[in-house]
Structure 1
């Protein structure tokens, strides 16, 4: 049986990997859909023209000053109007763009108040002419149809230096949520190979937070509070009151699910706290569309900060939707913190994986909005992914035993240096698979499912590595963004590895990543994310009642979002960009009983081992939230 699973085709490997794994919003970037020919030139589409920042170096310097205690600009965050005046496109630049639109017969729909984007409507034929490209229809192997340029669009010479990218020329769904279900939850019995079954251990006496279950796989936000020392803040009356949490997502959801979750676990929350904003018409609604992801984002962030308001921004799963959902949330400037649990491997933006079409300008477009968020004091959080150090595997498959193994890669937008990226751990728990002896994780570890593989090898002499590779907390080194200032003085920061190649001969892909690149390392902070030691949540579109044994870094990003809401209340103001602050605290105070951080020295994410200090498995480590609140109030 499993002894014969050492070698598999790519398709079989993907199928086995995703056995029991949620696949919300999945789009296999890098595959070769069928080209159906030129799109209907009279079809109307909406496109967002992203305008370039002014004085970006000065802006980045200002952002650091807003989170540096003692600096005259400390916590002097900007309004949207101030940001637009100092750093947005000038009136003359906007006028030139508007004149170009009129010349091309395109219609302006909206100029965003941050002066970073103009939403435009026109026909595909008009956009083909305006950007010297040819938009074609395509069909993927699952029958999904979409359109996208068949060559990199050219920015008009007259607008050189003003336009960054025209976002929306493609309608392809390119992003996925980072939510994962347990591979062997008790209620599923056996796996597809009828070999594994988990035995749920008896729950210990549960103390601390009244909503906690103390049962791995059925954890609530109360268990999170117990483990990461949030309860003292609750006892002091810190519950998120006066804070507004933002959720950026690519799927609509049912707000009743969130209220049901909070009620089911016995958590009192502020009534009528959820506001929905449907960007570009809003995201789709349904289990396959990823509505469960949005539900858990709201439930986790709002459960950690039960008295905070919540604004949910949802948009279609397209390049324009993903940019617009960030841009609108940040431009409105109503939220104090914003999290996103969708992304894709950073290298999926590179032209070598898109038939020569260069999407890296989209990374720069996101970056501008993240800079604006930081300047306005909005703390932002993203997931690091759930495919361990091999971020492409969850989407494309591949094994370490392949002639050319999958490359070490980082996830975007988490690789951006101006967003705080959430990694994943496994907390101590006991387990038994397929009637075997009970084993345990003795201390909190970097999350990687190789511990499941080791269990079967030790106890049954069978190798299931191919089935569990490479599920785990994402982490690695960006090969696009250089190492940021706050990581330059942190021990444990890595450079990109040598001989990392993504090879798909059938699709003409043979791309070798830059070696020894001094890039931004992710994640920054981690919390429990392993679904085997994971959480419950409610998504009525996925099933009735509490769904259990769920995890992924999708849980961690909104949990950090909720924690940021608590910090906003406890420090009496927006926290701003976390990263320069937390890295400085870790560099100075390290670890210990009074530190804001817990060192993660065990486990691995299939490449990066847990060790003292920073590592691209768990980042700085996990949080002692009450200590972090005290440090941010004093230092």
Structure 2
């Protein structure tokens, strides 16, 4: 175990100028405007906190699971009072007002005062990723008297990316007579006037269950990239068994899209793709794809979507093809339900980057979609609805309220928690800053689990966020673990390159093209959930699992893979952090490991095999992403916390110690994320594997 409560190493902190230079400068923030940032203070006993968290998390230790109350935590490991007094005195003299909350000193003053304090200028910018956001326009200089702080939060007000993907049905059916001849080779093209479409198959060899065949589609109009082209009627063609959903990723600026699909039965198939740019329409015969493997569970399109014909791979839901059954969590959920029937409910905290009304009113228009989606989901499957409570609304980082993805992420989070912990009490923490939200979770001490479905590359944090950001998080995460709070986070959706998707939004290519892990999943005090694709037999047993995204990482050149990831293509993330050291529980299995390995466990993340049935804005859809696995696993941990009548804290040492017990984890068969490969044991692609939940939770 190591202490991450590090002091700020230097006075000058670099702001991502290449990010700002690629953004639109909307002008300096009004100097008279009030602005709030936070200072994360060091613990009064940094080494003691690290030692306590190690002891309280280690089975067999005399202090095992002897967690602290929030009062005890503050008394033993709260802010260092001498540091607090010195910093407050200097801030007051500089014209600021301060308010201590847990480990964070909230500092409020005018923008002019902040500019003077840090020798910078707060400026409003806009780019595709963040919408409108506020950032210093230059490197900030930290005064000597402030360098004793662990970190500073809130100087950059931006929104981390949700790790969720949803898909609507776009598989079409056609008779064999309407299918054209299969083109030779791995490329095909079609032309309609000046509109030209070329398709390249970028996967090779037969695809096993859990692997998709993937195509790159490029369209030109008058010889130039067609930025308006899109699916017309989707894919059509005859095939055997159940066709999956289509995953579609567009990059309009390049006139390209990536599309993939999979089938459950062994067959060779050539589908027809019809695309249009609004004026011209072209149909191109896709190069043949070969599928091998057993039949999988299927369900009818009409039963899920109220119309259409044919079958698809049966998605995860609490009634049929349930993840609770496939991953053997029946006892865990049944135990939770027995307590719910007695009026006791598990308590889960969930992070959101926004979507909550200013007064925390759940029925406000900003939260009505996720709330009604969860109610519809609970009603559909006969589950006890969740109870909701907004516990925290941080300083509003959502400068541009039109930022997308937040409502869809929250809808999925709530429905996944409803699947694994029906009827739970959900405590919502809305903030644009992970540290602010976690500090509030610790101060409330109301939840046993804190679920986070957001993340950024851990190298990116050194450019995008505030000085000492990760050190601040690890200090707060240690405090949460000391209270018995388990933190669960999605490991990300960018393969081995968690910054790759950001290069289209102004991120430095040197970072986006570097192998890196996703934060906060990369913290040693967080349980990181990776992503898989799974084949489930008609009798409901798991037949095979692969990394979400299959073997694409080793089948195509790195530069091509990174280009696809930058186009919102998704693949289960994992790797070895170059920022976070390897924790003791991982080094026990891998003595030579130097950095924290991510993820710890993996759960299904694919929309295509088989996907999670869910609702968004009242409409049925299939969802996925590693952000589905994080709230799902959080629910199971909360169930057990309810049964034990206490939180479990950092469960990672228990998870890794259990790896020697036969049957606790099912290993993932194959996969490569571009930087690392599945190797049959714990690995930086799928971690320890997929859990046999009852076996490791109830024993």
1:623 and 2:613 matched:
no
Query: 2:679 maps to what in 1?
Result: 611
Residue of 89, 95, 113 corresponding to 1:105: 95
1:275 and 2:372 matched:
no
Q: Give the distance between the partners of 1:619 and 1:283, measured in 2 at CA.
A: 33
Query: 1:366 maps to what in 2?
Result: 473
Q: Give the distance between the partners of 1:122 and 1:332, measured in 2 at CA.
A: 26
Q: Give the distance between the partners of 1:95 and 1:599, measured in 2 at CA.
A: 52
1:445 and 2:490 matched:
no
Residue of 45, 51, 57 corresponding to 1:55: 45
1:263 and 2:357 matched:
no
Shift of 1:97: 2.5
SS in 2 for 1:487: helix
Q: 1:216·1:535 contact (CA, 8 Å) conserved in 2?
A: no
SS in 1 for 2:109: strand
Q: Give the distance between the partners of 1:178 and 1:624, measured in 2 at CA.
A: 24
Residue of 10, 30, 49 corresponding to 1:40: 30
Query: 1:539 maps to what in 2?
Result: 616
Residue of 634, 637, 654 corresponding to 1:581: 654
CA 1:578–1:216: 2 relative to 1, 3 Å: farther
Q: 2:530·2:685 contact (CA, 8 Å) conserved in 1?
A: yes
Q: 2:374·2:415 contact (CA, 8 Å) conserved in 1?
A: yes
Q: 2:552·2:673 contact (CA, 8 Å) conserved in 1?
A: no
SS in 2 for 1:137: strand
SS in 2 for 1:444: strand
1:311 and 2:412 matched:
no
TM-score with structure 1 setting the length:
0.75
Q: Give the distance between the partners of 1:551 and 1:87, measured in 2 at CA.
A: 39
Shift of 1:205: 8.0
Q: 2:577·2:597 contact (CA, 8 Å) conserved in 1?
A: yes
Q: Give the distance between the partners of 2:511 and 2:85, measured in 1 at CA.
A: 51
CA 1:189–1:464: 2 relative to 1, 3 Å: farther
Query: 1:331 maps to what in 2?
Result: 443
Shift of 1:622: 0.8
Shift of 1:555: 0.3
Q: Give the distance between the partners of 1:216 and 1:330, measured in 2 at CA.
A: 42
Query: 1:155 maps to what in 2?
Result: 142
Query: 2:196 maps to what in 1?
Result: none
Query: 1:559 maps to what in 2?
Result: 632
Shift of 1:68: 2.2
Q: Give the distance between the partners of 2:261 and 2:457, measured in 1 at CA.
A: 32
Higher strand proportion (structure 1 or 2): 2
> Aligned runs of 1:469-508 on 2, under 5 Å?
471-491=570-590
Residues 147-170 of structure 1 deviation map (CA, whole Å, 9 limit, x = unaligned):
311333333323432x22332222
CA 1:306–1:343: 2 relative to 1, 3 Å: same
SS in 2 for 1:428: strand
The CA RMSD over aligned residues, in Å, is 3.5
Q: Which has the larger radius of gyration?
A: 2
CA 1:34–1:263: 2 relative to 1, 3 Å: same
Shift of 1:360: 4.9
Question: Unaligned regions of 5+ residues in structure 1, if any?
Answer: 1-27, 431-440, 457-462, 496-517
Q: Give the distance between the partners of 2:575 and 2:586, measured in 1 at CA.
A: 13
1:66 and 2:47 matched:
no
Residues 354-395 of structure 1 deviation map (CA, whole Å, 9 limit, x = unaligned):
6xxx74511111111111111010000111110111212222
Which segment is superposed worse, 147-156 or 342-351? 147-156
Q: 2:412·2:628 contact (CA, 8 Å) conserved in 1?
A: yes
Q: Give the distance between the partners of 1:404 and 1:292, measured in 2 at CA.
A: 28
Shift of 1:452: 11
Q: Give the distance between the partners of 2:512 and 2:134, measured in 1 at CA.
A: 31
Q: 1:376·1:576 contact (CA, 8 Å) conserved in 2?
A: yes
Query: 2:411 maps to what in 1?
Result: 295
Query: 1:232 maps to what in 2?
Result: 331
Query: 2:316 maps to what in 1?
Result: 219
Query: 1:510 maps to what in 2?
Result: none
Query: 2:163 maps to what in 1?
Result: 178
Q: Give the distance between the partners of 1:179 and 1:547, measured in 2 at CA.
A: 13
> Aligned runs of 1:354-503 on 2, under 5 Å?
359-396=466-503, 406-428=513-535, 443-450=544-551, 467=564, 471-491=570-590
Residues 446-471 of structure 1 deviation map (CA, whole Å, 9 limit, x = unaligned):
222546998x9xxxxxx999657862
Q: Give the distance between the partners of 1:103 and 1:176, measured in 2 at CA.
A: 38
Residues 496-540 of structure 1 deviation map (CA, whole Å, 9 limit, x = unaligned):
xxxxxxxxxxxxxxxxxxxxxx21110001111111121122221
SS in 2 for 1:554: helix
Q: Give the distance between the partners of 1:59 and 1:74, measured in 2 at CA.
A: 14
Query: 2:596 maps to what in 1?
Result: 520
CA 1:623–1:198: 2 relative to 1, 3 Å: closer
Q: Give the distance between the partners of 1:327 and 1:404, measured in 2 at CA.
A: 28
Which segment is superposed worse, 567-576 or 387-396? 567-576
Q: 2:42·2:80 contact (CA, 8 Å) conserved in 1?
A: no
SS in 1 for 2:423: coil
Q: Give the distance between the partners of 2:571 and 2:37, measured in 1 at CA.
A: 36
SS in 1 for 2:328: coil
1:135 and 2:242 matched:
no
Q: Give the distance between the partners of 2:547 and 2:474, measured in 1 at CA.
A: 28
CA 1:185–1:408: 2 relative to 1, 3 Å: farther
Shift of 1:60: 1.6
Residues 404-451 of structure 1 deviation map (CA, whole Å, 9 limit, x = unaligned):
992211111111111111101110169xxxxxxxxxx96111222546
Higher helix proportion (structure 1 or 2): 1
Which segment is superposed worse, 78-87 or 445-454? 445-454
SS in 2 for 1:423: strand
Residues 194-219 of structure 1 deviation map (CA, whole Å, 9 limit, x = unaligned):
9866678898489xxxx9xx964632
CA 1:569–1:97: 2 relative to 1, 3 Å: same
CA 1:164–1:453: 2 relative to 1, 3 Å: closer
Q: 2:495·2:673 contact (CA, 8 Å) conserved in 1?
A: yes
Shift of 1:561: 0.6
Q: Give the distance between the partners of 1:230 and 1:89, measured in 2 at CA.
A: 40
